[in-house]
Amino acid sequence: MAEELSVMGLGFRRQRHVHAYSGTTSIDREHSHGYLGVTGPAIGSGAGHRHFITGLTTFDRAHYHTYRGLTGPAIMISGTAHTHRVRIRTSYNEGHSHRISDFVQQA
């Protein structure tokens, strides 16, 4: 469910159910990259819902990688609190790619 938010007279719709995420990619070619972001809104409902994630890694060793994919379904922690597993591969740049294998922050 979204609600209206006014900032300096501009109307924005606030998404209530998203997750923040951050971490470090796998080490490949003797380096890794950082990443961080906020998922898209829930796709589906209930415990089976997922989130789309997309972004850019940090710029290291004169390059960066893009990534995009879907989280896994909700993993219940307690009550209604839950997280999602992320397992995706970055774009192939400079002769390699990296793995992102982590959990989003609970919501």
Count how many domains the chain has.
1
Cβ contacts of 59 within 8 Å, gap of 6 or more: none
pTM score, whole prediction: 0.82
Asked, for residue 10, whether it belongs to a domain, the answer is: no
Q: Which domain holds residue 77?
A: 17-103
Does 6 map to a domain? no
Phi, psi (rounded to 5 degrees) for 47: -65, -20
Query: Tens digits of per-residue pLDDT, 1-49?
Result: 455 655 566 665 665 799 999 999 999 999 999 999 999 999 998 878 9
